[in-house]
Amino acid sequence: MSINVFQAILIGLWTAFCFSGMLLGIYTNRCIVLSFGVGIILGDLPTALAMGAIGELAYMGFGVGAGGTVPPNPIGPGIFGTLMAITSA
């Protein structure tokens, strides 16, 4: 599957909206929310939700990973991980 320019722009806008949610006080910067939007835009919601659920495993401890470290930004598994899973299938 290939991504056209319109889908890429929509994914960029979705990412910007989700990360601006931190400023607005809504909790949209999570892997599952990011993956949900990518799945809707690309038309493969089951794969996107599966990838979002896998990405959420890193954040189950309220933002604290193994050894007291803070997990990285959720854009990696939320957007790029979902994009790779959907487009490589």
So where are the chain's domains? 5-87
Residues 8-33, mean pLDDT to the nearest whole number: 87
Burial 37-63 (b: 16+ CB within 10 A, else e): bbbebbebeebbeebbebbbebbeeee
Where is 35: in which H helix or E strand? helix 31-42
- pTM, rounded to two decimals: 0.81
Residues 49-55, mean pLDDT to the nearest whole number: 91
Place of tokens 């994009």: 83
Residues 8-32, mean pLDDT to the nearest whole number: 87
pLDDT tier for residue 55 given thresholds of 50, 70 and 90: confident
Residue 7 and residue 79 in contact, taking contact as beta carbons nearer than 8 Å: no
Three-state secondary structure call for residue 59: helix
Tokens, residue 53: 């659920």
pLDDT at 35 over 80: yes
What is the per-residue pLDDT for 65?
Answer: 59
Could you give the C-alpha distances from 73 to 12, 47, 50, 69, in angstroms and in order? 16, 21, 19, 12
pLDDT at 28 over 90: no
What is the per-residue pLDDT for 41?
Answer: 95
